[in-house]
Amino acid sequence: MMWLLLLYAGFSPNYSVFSWLVDGFCKKNNADAVLVIPDELMKRGLPPDKAVYRSLIRRLCRKGMVDQAQKVFDQMQGKGLVGDSLVYTTLAYTYLTEGKPVAASNTLDDMAKNQLYITLQIYNCLCTSYADEKETLNMLWVRAIERGLIRKSVYKLMHQARLESTKLAVETGGCAPVSRPDYLEATLGT
């Protein structure tokens, strides 16, 4: 494998390299090959850390391959590495986009059990990464709020955005450029 040559040459793979690998394996209809990347790293004396697994999981999720991402997550946990808030949130979001709301809820429940929270950085990261999927993001935020997974700073930002949207609607004669689903309004306490 070409990426192994990079390791031998002394290069340390980063998120971009792992994204490239995942994309390449997916193009060859071999997404399961992603599962061997951590083992290959281990064989070469480079034990994969949480960042390696996070990169693989996020890229698989970005490609809509949540089942493979879950396998990588399970593999990570089997190695004694605990998932972080970004991994759980990304998996839950992808389950929602793939029409698997029960799996998304279970993932968020696990996140709550592990006392992990959605921080401002994670909120901004997902909002930026999935800006074109506002409805799915709103479903995720509602489920996260219901479980108490949203940090106060994020909740304040959400509330401020709602207020600004309402102010804009008043200023433009009731024609707000972005509508919010009723369930988000109900959750944020209109």
Q: Could you report the per-residue pLDDT of 111-157, keeping only the tens digit for each? A: 999 999 999 999 998 988 888 888 999 999 999 999 999 988 998 98
Q: What is residue 8's predicted lDDT score, i.e. its pLDDT?
A: 52
Percent of all residues in the chain with a pLDDT value above 90, rounded to a whole number: 41
More confident residue, 129 or 98: 98
Q: What is residue 28's predicted lDDT score, i.e. its pLDDT?
A: 76
**What global pTM score does this model have?**
0.77
Cβ-contact 190, 181 below 8 angstroms: no
What does the pLDDT average to over 20-47?
Answer: 76
Cβ-contact 23, 29 below 8 angstroms: no
Nearest CA to 15 among 46, 47, 56?
A: 56
Domain boundaries, the chain: 1-82
Give the whole-angstrom CA distance, residue 92 versus residue 83: 13
What does the pLDDT average to over 36-55?
Answer: 81
Q: What is residue 11's predicted lDDT score, i.e. its pLDDT?
A: 59
**Three-state SS at 118:** strand
Cα angle for residues 58, 63, 64 (degrees, 5° grid): 95
Percent of all residues in the chain with a pLDDT value above 70, rounded to a whole number: 76
Q: What is residue 46's predicted lDDT score, i.e. its pLDDT?
A: 75
Nearest CA to 67 among 79, 57, 77, 76?
A: 57
Cβ-contact 116, 79 below 8 angstroms: no
